[in-house]
Amino acid sequence: MKHKSNKNSSKRTKEMFENIVDKLQTIVNSGEYERFLKFNKNFRGYSFNNLVLIYSQFPNATKVAGKSKWLKMKRQLVSGAKKIFIIAPLPRKFNKTIKIIEDGEELEKKETIEYNSYRYVYVYDVSQTEGEPLPLQSNNINCNDMAYFYEKLKSFSDYPVLEEELYGGTKGYYSPSKEHIVIKNTLSANDKAAVLLHELSHAMYDDFDYSTDRNLSEVFVESIAYIVADYFGLDTSLCSFNYIIKWAKGDPKVVLELGSKIQKCANEFIDKIENYELQEIKLVA
């Protein structure tokens, strides 16, 4: 009976995953990948899979939680509030008998197999609730002055940042062999900050073989840079969204796997910048 239950659970998990792939394909095909990346900054505690689900059902969402959590925050659901379904893991385990050879003798041994199955749960956006105001949650760097943000990124970087005269369409590059970053010296402060985020993403997170996986590499770092830039209030057009979308249509399952990596690295990048800023404030104080 357990075996049958495990098969049913596996089938349901597969159906959930395929549903997410279909929704991601719709986002890509509709040309909304850029907007979806912007959407990421509001939901840093959620998996990439759940981001796809939330965005597909409620693209204007800004903060979601379950009914019980909203009640703890002294907020009630408004009449007709729309359910937003996401997936939640259910830890499971079963015992399996295996045969092993020990001292030349065949023995039976019980082994516990642990795995996750998944179920749908429902959340609601803050716009579907009313009650006590939410506490302000913002420790972001004040980025109204992008020259300031650029200088902050330069001091944050573990690699020397050089400004040089570059020709053609090259705005900057990261040199692994020389372990430095070069930025085109004639760019505006906003462009310098955007390019530096892009090159820092290469330096800090890009583990693709550029000679064979250039497409993956560029999609990966451009997406990270865009999420981080948008989080700190930098309006950037550095990401080549037409290029990303063209590649993404090839295999949405690969994009889904890459998306989780993008989200994880972008969140870590944001945390590092914020922690660096807080450390500097403490030193000054």
The yes-or-no verdict on residue 284 having pLDDT over 50 is no
- Report whether 168 contacts 148 (CB < 8 A): no
Query: Is 230's pLDDT higher than 70?
Result: yes
What gap in Å lies between CA 48 and CA 257, rounded to an integer?
A: 9
Average pLDDT over the chain, rounded to an integer: 81
Q: What is the structure's pLDDT at 213?
A: 85
Could you count the other beta carbons within 10 Å of the beta carbon of residue 281?
10
Q: Which of 66-80, 91-105, 143-157, 200-214 has the lowest mean pLDDT?
A: 91-105
Q: How far, in Å, are 279, 280, 282 from residue 285 at the CA level?
A: 10, 9, 5
Helix axis angle, 214-231 relative to 252-284, nearest 10°? Answer: 40
Confidence bin at 57 (pLDDT 50/70/90): very high
Buried b / exposed e across 75-98, counting CB within 10 Å, b at 16+? bebeeebeebbbbeeeeeeeeeee
Residue 9's pLDDT is what?
Answer: 56
Record the tokens describing residue 127, joined without a space.
Answer: 């716009």
pLDDT of residue 211: 84
With contact defined as beta carbons under 8 Å apart, do 92 and 9 qualify?
yes
Q: Which residue has the tokens 């959930």?
A: 16
pTM: 0.68
Please state whether beta strands 64-65 and 105-125 pair in parallel, antiparallel, or not at all (unpaired): antiparallel
Task: Give, in order, the Cα–Cα distances in Å from 7 to each of 3, 4, 119, 121, 206.
Answer: 6, 5, 15, 21, 37
pLDDT tens track for 149-176: 899 999 999 999 999 999 888 899 999 9
| Percentage of the residues of the chain whose pLDDT score is greater than 90 | 36
Check residue 125 and give its pLDDT. Answer: 95
* Amino acid 84: pLDDT: 96
Structure tokens at 134: 């939410």
pLDDT tens digits for 174-185? 999 999 999 999
% of the chain residues with pLDDT over 70: 82
Residue listed under structure tokens 């986002």: 27
Residue 145: band (very low, low, confident or very high) from pLDDT cuts 50, 70, 90: low
pLDDT of residue 206: 94
Residue length of the chain: 285
pLDDT of residue 237: 55
Q: Which two tokens stand for residue 79?
A: 């009449």
* Alpha carbon distance 91, 56 (integer Å): 26
Work out the number of other CB atoms within 10 angstroms of the CB of residue 201: 25
Mean pLDDT of 225-239: 77
Whether the CB-CB separation of 166 and 157 falls below 8 Å is answered with no
Is the pLDDT at 253 greater than 80, yes or no?
no
The domain ranges of the chain are 2-131, 146-284
- pLDDT the model gives residue 127: 95
Q: Is residue 61 very low, low, confident or very high in pLDDT (cuts 50, 70, 90)?
A: very high
pLDDT digits (tens, 9 = 90+) for 196-206: 999 999 999 99
Q: Is residue 255 predicted with pLDDT exceeding 70?
A: no
pLDDT recorded at residue 140: 44
> What's the mean pLDDT in 217-243?
76
